[in-house]
Structure 1
Amino acid sequence: MYYYIKKLIKIPQKMATQSAPTPKLNFQLIAQQYSASPWIKIAAICGASAVVLGAYGAHGLYFFSFFLCGKFNLQPKPILLTFFKGLKKSDKRAIFETANRYHFYHSLALLATPFVHRPNLVGGLFLGGMMIFSGTCYCNAITGNEMVVRFTPFGGMMFILGWLAMFI
């Protein structure tokens, strides 16, 4: 088969047996450059905490105290349920899910911060937005503390400013 292909193309024997040079990329330098960014590590921690809090909100938010009481042979008392005063359980769960959703989305967005023009500004705004917006929503959903809700819009503004800073 090689004989016929060589005759068809009419390439000299020496050139036909030589292989093209392989491009050499230094993947270690590329990986080191991007993995050394503290924003990727912060994004990983934020993403992991978003998943843990999401699982807690989906499975343990309302029944956590019953599990602990049964494990230690205590009288079951719905400790966490007593905090839910103003809103219904479904409303508190919706607040918790909103906080978790924004926490998770912006943890993923933190992964892109090393590649933007001003990574510290963008990362700081996203991280601050997660702490203020998601943190106040988590606090409200878990404890029923309505006082922290007044700070939630500031976290939302930090999210918006973070996305705009990513554009600049």
Structure 2
Amino acid sequence: MKFFIQAGGLVGALAVALGAFGAHALKAMLEASGRSETFETAVKYQFYHAIALVLIGLLLQRSGPDAAKLLGWSGNAFMIGVVIFSGSLYAICFTGITKFGAIAPIGGLLLIAGWILLLLAASKIA
């Protein structure tokens, strides 16, 4: 419970910090490389899933063992998915190496899996 709420807080704080850094300190570099939209997508998905992690933690407080197992898998999928999806987009922005884009779909699939696991867990919550 507490772990996912804390992870959501950390992921969210980093999303705000990176978003501000990108909008100010990196603005010229991102615009020059044509990567502003890529960076914004990375921040946006990171922030959405920070909120989802907090939700997972809160749901764990009122769930039984069956739902808790699914919620745990969901939270882990969200965390790993954010690292892979947003991380690969940040890597493209900072390095210009577009091959990092090849791993973004893996992160995206993990994010989708996290939402499906959340859906399944919801059916087990009283």
Calculate the TM-score normalised by the size of structure 2: 0.81
Cα distance in 2 for partners of 1:89, 1:162 equals 35
Q: What residue number does 1:107 align with?
A: 50
CA drift of 1:89 comes to 2.9
The structure where helix makes up a greater share of residues is 2
Cα distance in 1 for partners of 2:51, 2:79 equals 11
Cα distance in 2 for partners of 1:39, 1:160 equals 18
- Judge conservation of contact 2:43–2:86 (CA < 8 Å) in 1: yes
Cα distance in 1 for partners of 2:35, 2:19 equals 13
1:140 aligns with 2:92: yes
CA drift of 1:162 comes to 0.4
Letter in 2 for 1:48: A
1:129 aligns with 2:88: no
1:46 aligns with 2:11: yes
CA drift of 1:146 comes to 1.3
- Judge conservation of contact 1:47–1:107 (CA < 8 Å) in 2: yes
CA drift of 1:48 comes to 0.2
Describe the superposition over 1:81-127 as per-residue Cα deviations: whole angstroms up to 9, x where unpaired.
Answer: 5xx8xxx6363011000000000001011111121522220110000
Cα distance in 1 for partners of 2:14, 2:32 equals 23
- Judge conservation of contact 1:103–1:134 (CA < 8 Å) in 2: yes
Cα distance in 1 for partners of 2:23, 2:113 equals 30
Q: What residue number does 1:7 align with?
A: none
Cα distance in 1 for partners of 2:40, 2:27 equals 14
**Deviation above 2 Å: which 4+ runs of structure 1?**
88-91
Cα distance in 2 for partners of 1:137, 1:113 equals 25
Percent identical across equivalent pairs?
Answer: 35
Task: State the Cα RMSD in Å.
Answer: 1.7
Pairwise mapping of residues 10-89 of structure 1 onto structure 2 (< 5 A)? 37-62=2-27, 81=29, 89=32
Q: 2:41 aligns with which of 98, 105, 109?
A: 98
Q: What residue number does 2:103 align with?
A: 151
Cα distance in 2 for partners of 1:89, 1:157 equals 30
Unaligned runs of 5+ in 2: 61-66, 121-126
User: Across the two proteins, how many residue pairs are aligned to each other?
Assistant: 111
CA drift of 1:142 comes to 1.6
Calculate the TM-score normalised by the size of structure 1: 0.62
